[in-house]
């Protein structure tokens, strides 16, 4: 062998070694890199739900089947190919999960209802296989993400083009691989004797204005459902607001989902469920929680009702109709036997919407939601306090009667009335026995001896001779001026009092007193002012008389008193009512809410105390039953 040939062979061997090294270098090296936990969490939970990238599991499924590179340029063909693989492989959940995500990715991008429906069906098959077929662990991210694919895909598939309504109906729709026949369960639209209608998707609503935003995680399309109008709505007693909406969830279910998805004809059932009737649903052997957006629904009620705009007109009397002041008792859901009413009565220049945060929090306590229902009383807050209390009394009596009475539903006999500020005075006037004390504070002679028109006499008797309502078990006074409010004497308050328009029956009765019975009055006529602002003056004779009349021991009374400042308790106030005025002897409990102003209904401490009192009443009920 020559030296030249040896050199050549040596160079060839060297080049071969370099080629081998280059080939090895061409393969992706295995390496690890430490990242922060937020990045790690984002990588683990990345899906088409929150980004424009597919999850790791779907990419693995595509890569194993040599389909990863074909999806971007040929999405329909890639999904069809993976569907064929899934069918031939027995419809395992990993393939179905990938099909759900790919269909959602394309359905959202192209706004394709068939693709979105397919995504929901594949996700349902992942979660609810027939028999003992394998499915992802409920602790895995894939289980939660499959739930979200179902919820979001079905929400978009059922929504109108602009997303402000959900269309729930029977019918046939196209799928990328066939047809789906949907049958709407009409019976599921009935709740509390009414029919659900006008569904609004809530998943795409962003809520502001509430302190806490509550939602219930689960399966289904969260909706805000209205109620279909009825032929003869009640004209008095308890009514349901035209703006009422109920937290609702829509479910699309299929039997043997993996088996049906192997063919091209799918039969499905669409049903509706309210948070009050069925917060869960049984699928096979599983009890499945449903998805609801409670606070979003309550926010819709608030914004659509525009209650804030009625507060000042309500004070000045601009919402009066006919010859009598209007008083409305409104519920936020149809009455269900067995639930105890909680009646919320707002204060001066206010509205039921001031209770929004309190109700939003209380309704999230399962015990309270399952055992209580909330009614709201609204009234002309400039009217005489005794007249507003009379309207409240009549509304409650008519409501109980229209619902069958306490004999048919004993829960109606355990009513709770909560009044804020002036509303607390109304609550007091339906829970005391005045005898002649209120009348004697106004007149030197019995009412039977006065010269009055029959309608004036009836009004004065009904308003000033009061007794406890027998079905009221508990009253809660919040920031209530039992001894009057010092603001009532301010010049601005006097100006407002002069602007208030009183209803005709009140002015008629006042004219009767002043023209025919002036000499019997204990108050000089120039000082006689029947508005609520004057009625809350500490010097008002009715206010002085009322505070001396105790709430009977048969009614459980509680006080919640907000105060500002750090002075001794007797020197504090809430900017409207002093502690000394709000304090009431003889109540079962009194909670002072420090550093809270007059509008304390949204204060967490105030809400917590109301919750405590409601739970205490529940415990009393349980003890009586035992």
Please indicate, yes or no, whether residues 284 and 361 belong to a single structural domain of this protein: no
Nearest to residue 340, comparing CAs of 609, 617, 626? 617
Q: What is the pLDDT of residue 20?
A: 52
Most confident of 49-58, 556-565, 614-623: 556-565
pLDDT at 16: 56
Task: Answer yes or no: do 393 and 520 share one domain.
Answer: yes
Per-residue model confidence (pLDDT) at position 599: 94
Cβ 250 vs Cβ 158: under 8 Å: yes
Query: How much of the chain is helix, strand and coil, in % rounded to 5?
Result: 45, 20, 35
Q: Examine the domain organization and report whether 48 and 154 are in the same domain.
A: yes
Please state, as a whole number, how many other Cβ atoms lie within 10 Å of the Cβ of residue 592: 16
Predicted pLDDT at 455: 85
* One domain for residues 456 and 350: yes
Question: Same domain for 292 and 324?
Answer: no
Look up residue 169 and give its two tokens.
Answer: 């109906």
What pLDDT, on the 0 to 100 scale, is given for residue 307?
A: 53
Between CA 403 and CA 84 the distance in angstroms is 59
The tally of domains found in the chain comes to: 2
Return the pLDDT at 535. 78
User: Do 189 and 278 fall into the same domain?
Assistant: yes
Q: Are 452 and 494 found together in one domain?
A: yes
Compute CA distances 487 → 303, 526, 573, whole Å: 31, 20, 11
pTM comes to 0.84
Query: What's the rounded mean pLDDT across residues 547-570?
Result: 95
Looking at the fold, whether 244 and 351 belong to one and the same domain comes out as no
CA pair distance 428, 392, nearest whole angstrom: 11
Last residue within a domain, chosen from 244, 273, 296: 296
Give the per-residue pLDDT at 73: 96
Q: How far apart are CA 39 and CA 162, in angstroms?
A: 35
Q: CA–CA separation, 577 vs 487, rounded Å?
A: 8
Q: Which ranges of 500-531 does DSSP label H, i.e. alpha helix?
A: 504-516
Residues 306-329 have pLDDT tens digits of 554 454 444 444 444 333 346 889
Read out DSSP for 267-325?
Answer: EEEEEEEETTT-SEEEETTEEEEBPB-HHHHHHHHHHHHTGGGGHHHHHHTTT-BTTB-
Check whether residue 349 and residue 265 sit in a common domain.
Answer: no
Q: Which domain holds residue 344?
A: 306-625
Whole-angstrom distance, CA of residue 616 vs CA of residue 626: 15
Q: What CATH number did the domain enclosing 441 receive?
A: 3.40.50.1820
CB-CB contact of 538 with 581 (8 Å): yes
Q: Is the dihedral of CA 538, 542, 543, 544 positive or negative?
A: positive
Residue 86 pLDDT more than 80? Answer: yes
Q: What distance in Å separates the CA atoms of residue 602 and residue 560, rounded to the nearest whole number?
A: 13
Q: 269: pLDDT confidence band, cut at 50, 70 and 90?
A: very high
Lowest mean pLDDT among 49-53, 422-426, 458-462, 532-536: 532-536
Instruction: Select from 238, 269, 296 the last residue of a domain.
Output: 296
Please say if the pLDDT value at position 340 is more than 60.
yes
Answer yes or no: do 203 and 310 share one domain: no
How do residues 409-434 score in pLDDT, each as one tens digit?
A: 999 999 999 999 999 999 999 999 99
Q: Are residues 357 and 461 in the same domain?
A: yes
Residue 144 inside a domain? The answer is yes
Closest residue by Cα to residue 292 from 205, 217, 364, 195? 217
Report whether 559 contacts 480 (CB < 8 A).
yes
Cα–Cα distances (Å) from 461 to 466, 509, 549, in that order, read 8, 11, 18
Let me know whether 514 and 403 are in one domain. Answer: yes
Is 27 a member of any domain?
no
Task: Tell me how far apart the alpha carbons of residues 220 and 293 are, in angstroms, rounded to a whole number.
Answer: 11
Where does residue 268 rank: exposed (0-12), middle (13-18), buried (19+ CB within 10 A)? buried
The reported pLDDT for the residue numbered 570 is: 93
The last residue of a domain, from among 261, 296, 331: 296
pLDDT of 618 strictly over 90: yes
């Amino acid at each position: 062998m020559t030296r030249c040939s040896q050199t050549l062979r040596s160079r060839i061997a060297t080049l071969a070694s370099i080629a081998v090294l280059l080939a090895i270098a061409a393969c992706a090296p295995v390496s690890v890199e430490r990242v922060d936990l937020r990045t790690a969490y984002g990588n683990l939970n990345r899906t088409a739900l929150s980004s424009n990238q597919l999850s790791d599991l779907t990419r693995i499924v595509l890569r194993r089947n040599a389909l990863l590179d074909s999806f971007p340029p040929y999405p329909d063909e890639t999904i069809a190919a993976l569907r064929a693989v899934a069918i031939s492989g027995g419809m395992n959940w990993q393939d179905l999960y990938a099909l759900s995500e790919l269909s959602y990715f394309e359905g959202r991008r192209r706004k394709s209802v068939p693709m979105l429906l397919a995504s929901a069906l594949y996700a349902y098959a992942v979660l609810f296989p027939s028999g003992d077929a394998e499915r992802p662990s409920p602790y895995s991210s894939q289980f939660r993400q499959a739930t979200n694919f179902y919820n979001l895909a079905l929400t978009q598939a059922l929504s109108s083009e602009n997303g402000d309504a959900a269309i729930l109906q029977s019918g046939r729709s196209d799928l990328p691989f066939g047809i789906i026949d949907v049958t709407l369960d009409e019976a599921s639209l009935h709740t509390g004797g009414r029919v659900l209608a006008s569904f609004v998707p809530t998943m795409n609503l962003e809520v502001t204005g509430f302190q806490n935003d509550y939602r219930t995680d689960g399966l289904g399309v969260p909706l805000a459902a209205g109620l279909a109008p009825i032929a003869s709505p009640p004209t008095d007693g308890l009514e349901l607001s035209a703006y009422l909406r109920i937290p609702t969830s829509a479910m699309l279910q299929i039997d043997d989902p993996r088996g049906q998805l192997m063919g091209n004809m799918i039969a499905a059932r669409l049903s509706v469920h309210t948070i009050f009737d069925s917060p869960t649903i049984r699928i096979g052997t599983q009890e499945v929680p449903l998805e609801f957006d409670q606070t979003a629904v309550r926010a819709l009620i608030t914004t659509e009702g525009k209650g804030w705009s009625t507060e000042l007109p309500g004070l000045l009397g601009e919402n009066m109709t006919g010859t009598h002041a209007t008083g409305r008792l409104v519920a936020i859901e149809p009455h269900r036997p067995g639930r105890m009413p909680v009646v919320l009565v707002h204060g001066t220049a206010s509205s039921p919407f001031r209770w929004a945060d309190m109700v939003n929090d209380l309704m999230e306590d399962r015990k309270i939601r399952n055992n209580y229902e909330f009614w709201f009383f609204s009234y002309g807050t400039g009217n005489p306090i005794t007249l507003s209390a009379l309207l409240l009394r009549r509304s409650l009596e008519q409501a109980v009667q229209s619902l069958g009475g306490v004999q048919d539903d004993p829960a109606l006999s355990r009513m709770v009335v909560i009044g804020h500020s002036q509303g607390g005075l109304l609550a007091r006037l339906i829970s005391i026995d005045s005898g002649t004390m209120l009348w004697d504070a106004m007149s030197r002679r019995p009412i039977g001896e006065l010269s009055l028109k029959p309608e004036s006499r009836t009004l004065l008797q009904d308003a000033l001779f009061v007794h406890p309502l027998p079905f009221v078990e508990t009253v809660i006074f919040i920031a209530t001026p039992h001894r009057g409010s010092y603001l009532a004497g301010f010049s601005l308050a006097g100006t407002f009092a002069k602007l208030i328009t009183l209803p005709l029956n009140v002015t008629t009765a006042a004219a009767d007193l002043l023209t025919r019975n002036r000499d019997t009055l204990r108050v000089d006529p120039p000082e006689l002012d029947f508005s609520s602002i004057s009625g809350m003056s500490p010097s008002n004779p009715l206010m002085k008389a009322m505070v001396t009349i105790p709430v009977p021991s048969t009614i459980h009374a509680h006080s919640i008193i907000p105060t500002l400042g750090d002075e001794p308790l007797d020197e504090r106030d809430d900017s409207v009512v002093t502690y000394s005025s709000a304090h009431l002897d003889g109540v079962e409990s009194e909670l002072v809410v420090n550093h809270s102003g007059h509008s304390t209904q949204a204060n967490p401490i105030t809400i917590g105390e109301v919750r405590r009192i409601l739970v205490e009443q529940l415990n009393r009920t349980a003890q009586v039953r035992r």
